[in-house]
Amino acid sequence: IPAFLAEHKIPGGNFSENDLAKELNQVIESGFGLKNIVQSLQNYQVYLNIAEIEKQGKNLNDVRQAVIRALKEKIYINNAFATDAIEQTTLPQPQKQMLVNGYNPKRSGDVEFTIRSGYFDGGNKGTTHGLWNPYDAHIPLLWYGWNIKPGKTNRETFMTDISPTLAAILQIQMPSGSIGHVIQETVR
């Protein structure tokens, strides 16, 4: 957490998504004359008011590129890119796969950015488990009770593995649309 990092003189810190959204709106207004185009900033994604950009006759890609440039200037941001260009973006493979898996063209933002290790959105206490760094993304998973085989694994497992594992334990059909795999260590 940022307070621990600061106490031990380790680089890191926090930032405010609200403040960042205000800064991006200022960049867009000064460059394109458009006001309040950043509708929201959530989960390291920037949501733009595309309808207003088009209504004002501005080029969406130009606005996105201005946002990307502004984001990349921040000390706590590693990379920024148009979300519909994730596949063409150079990122470490595990991180890229997570971002690709989380992309939904109807729900995702217009620009996504990645954060440097040690930086968080919000306060100095706690964490969100919303980043891809192992210190933040690692969440212990504990299974116990009826029909659970005793043991442990240090193998990487995913949230998408929970439903198929429950289905296997209960000996029922795996949920439709499930993309996970049974955590074999739990089943007898």
**What's the rounded mean pLDDT across residues 11-34?**
92
Report the chain's terminal Cα–Cα distance, integer Å. Answer: 39
**What's the rounded mean pLDDT across residues 97-113?**
89
* 23-65: pLDDT as tens digits: 999 999 999 999 999 999 998 999 999 999 999 999 999 999 9
DSSP code of residue 174: P
Look at residue 112 in the predicted model and tell me its pLDDT: 95
Residue 143 corresponds to which tokens in the numbers above? 């299974």
Side chain identity, residue 174: M
Q: Is the pLDDT of residue 128 over 70?
A: no
Mean pLDDT in the chain?
88
CB 14 within 8 A of CB 122: yes
CB 14 within 8 A of CB 77: no
Element spanning 14, H or E:
strand 13-15
In sequence order, the 6+-apart residues with CB closer than 8 A to the CB of 23 are 70
Element spanning 38, H or E:
strand 38-42
Q: Is the pLDDT of residue 124 over 70?
A: no
Place of tokens 């334990």: 169
